[in-house]
Amino acid sequence: MYRIVSKKVLNPTVTQMEIEAPLVARKALPGQFIILRVDEEGERIPLTVAGTNHEKGTVKIIFQVVGATTEKLNHKKEGESIQDFVGPLGKPTETEGIKKVCIVGGGVGCAIALPVAEEFHRLGAEVTSIIGFRSKDLLILEDEFKAASDKLVIMSDDGSYGRHGNVTVPLKEMLEAGEKFDLVIAIGPVIMMKFVTLTAKPFGVPVTISMNPIMIDGTGMCGGCRLTLNQDGKKVTKFACVDGPDFNGYEVDFDEAMSRGRMYFPFERHAHEEACNLFKEAK
């Protein structure tokens, strides 16, 4: 069992927890993830490592309440425990040779983008961060991004905070003005990562994206997280859990990834509703 050391609500739908897991904390690197189960009957879900504390032996996770498992997890309190917490899984984000990087985060994807930005900052790279949210109410991790970035741009879809618009607007402005990034890293909704990639493509800037599809075992056995890449004119199947989660944005078949992701929406919504009803009845 893994104890919940702290719990913090970041916005109405996003929660941050610190989990006591010293072995994972010792090994985890930015870009990697864990798979957890809330209880013995629970499903396995992947969550990115949002930070570690080696001295305390804790791992920070940030999750959005969208399905049954995240609903159950969100009802857990400080001092309680969860059943399983396995990791670190996946490959860490590559940082070697990168001196100037642009980190683009969208929504809860900013929880994944932050430790990557912090790692580049720690290594002495020049970090530009662009983070976007639907509205001011959904903003998370602003102070943390300020501390890890040489330049921070905040966007909101409705204009209620920062600049009005999506994250591709300032990225395009910077590239058109002659900014020379060694790498652009995009983390967030698949549609956002697709358009960040399309924005950067005319300028020849390398783009890394982080995929977080449905996963079950995290070892490549189930095939649930498979992606299609276009490499040298050939279609290649890769698995986000073992080959990623980071991929070359120019190779990913985004349309297929979005289509596969939409397949599960009705099941997630139904399971979430059932979980909510259970908690209501228990009160």
Domain contains 205: no
Domain contains 281: no
Are 147 and 162 part of one and the same domain? yes
Are 194 and 217 part of one and the same domain? no
**CATH number, position 103:** 3.40.50.80
Mean pLDDT of 6-30: 95
Domains held by the chain: number: 3
Q: Which of 89, 105, 138 is the last residue of a domain?
A: 89
Are 9 and 44 part of one and the same domain? yes
Are 65 and 116 part of one and the same domain? no
Domain contains 164: yes
Mean pLDDT of 73-91: 94
Domain contains 282: no
Q: What is the spatial distance between Cα 47 and Cα 17, in angstroms, rounded to a whole number? A: 11
R_g (Cα) of the chain, nearest Å: 18
pLDDT in tens, 195-242: 999 999 999 999 999 998 777 777 778 887 888 999 988 999 999 889
- Check whether 272 has a pLDDT greater than 50: no
User: What global pTM score does this model have?
Assistant: 0.86
pLDDT in tens, 112-168: 999 999 999 999 999 999 999 999 999 999 999 999 999 999 999 999 999 999 999
Are 102 and 117 part of one and the same domain? yes
Tokens of 214: 């449905």
Domain contains 206: no
Mean pLDDT of 239-247: 91
The β-bridge partners of 226 are 239
Domain contains 253: yes
- Check whether 54 has a pLDDT greater than 50: yes
**CATH number, position 34:** 2.40.30.10
Domain contains 185: yes
Are 114 and 158 part of one and the same domain? yes
Are 184 and 103 part of one and the same domain? yes
- Check whether 273 has a pLDDT greater than 70: no
Are 62 and 140 part of one and the same domain? no
Contact 107, 80 (CB under 8 A): no
User: Which letter, b or e, does each residue of 231-251 get, where b requires 16 or more Cβ atoms within 10 Å of its Cβ?
Assistant: eeeeeeebbbbebbbbbebbb
Q: Please tell me whether residue 227 adopts helix, strand or coil conformation.
A: strand
Q: What is the spatial distance between Cα 162 and Cα 123, in angstroms, rounded to a whole number? A: 28
Tell me what pLDDT residue 241 has. 87
Of 4, 6, 13, nearest in space to 71 by CA: 13
Q: Which of 89, 116, 133 is the last residue of a domain?
A: 89
Are 118 and 182 part of one and the same domain? yes
Are 151 and 245 part of one and the same domain? no
267 pLDDT band (50/70/90 cuts)? low
Q: Which of 89, 124, 146 is the last residue of a domain?
A: 89
Domain contains 273: no
Q: Please tell me whether residue 131 adopts helix, strand or coil conformation.
A: strand
Are 103 and 166 part of one and the same domain? yes
Are 189 and 218 part of one and the same domain? no
Q: Percent of the chain having pLDDT more than 90?
A: 76
Tell me what pLDDT residue 157 has. 95
The larger pLDDT score, comparing residue 275 to residue 191, is at 191
Domain around 7: 2-89
pLDDT in tens, 93-102: 999 999 999 9
Tell me what pLDDT residue 282 has. 53
Mean pLDDT of the chain: 90
Q: What phi and psi values does residue 257 have, to the nearest 5 degrees?
A: -60, -40
